[in-house]
Amino acid sequence: MGYVIIKDLGLIDYMECWQLQQKFFDGLIAAKTDATKGEQSWMTENHVVRAAGQEHAGEAQQTLLLCEHPHVYTLGKSGNINNLLIDPAFMECIGAAYYKVDRGGDITYHGPGQLVGYPILDLERLGMGLKDYIHGLEEVIINLLELFEIRAERSEGATGVWLAATGSRPLRKIAAIGVRSSHFVTMHGFSLNVNPKMEYFSYINPCGFTDRGVTSISRELGEIPEMDNIKKTFAEEFGKVFGLTFQP
């Protein structure tokens, strides 16, 4: 069983968090590169990386960042800017930022009341490829929602976690997934709608879709769950699905 450090960052600026995950991402890749070269260890001011086959400390350790962001829209590297339906002046009026980022997927929204997670993992350690990893992230969220008596599913041809169409309600997304990997190391991740301001989704075609809806845990349950409880439950299911234990 592998290990991962979990860090709860609370409410954090998107760019600040992006730079932080890039730091862990680069550190994990550097550790793999040095191990491949056969180096026994190397040291910097802040961390030591041990030989291949051992767990890495500090920046080289696998990490799960959990957080919320102030209002922000992000567009994946292959996304269509036309799926952002508002101009910069209106975006400023609603207090939202915009970034084009290096993950997969189209446009998405992050904001307070939404759990965002960035796993920086070595998929070779986990013995899986990128497709299985994304499938695993979906499974974690599906399992979490089941514990809150929300039946969720995958949608063929689209990543993320969805709720089936019911009555007048269309197929609707409750969690988005967009990742990047290099040298089998991952960054970016998922967003789960717990209790965000849903009107912010009306300013985009979420993930590029025009015929599907968006929902949240609070909208489905009719009550607002505690974010700390959602984080705790996510961490437990994440550990089960990926066979990981957490270090403080």
- Tell me the catalytic residues: 207
Q: How far apart are CA 240 and CA 236, in angstroms?
A: 6
Q: Are strands 72-75 and 2-11 parallel, antiparallel or unpaired?
A: unpaired
For residue 200, what are its two tokens? 């912010």
- Which phi and psi (to 5°) does residue 41 adopt? -170, 160
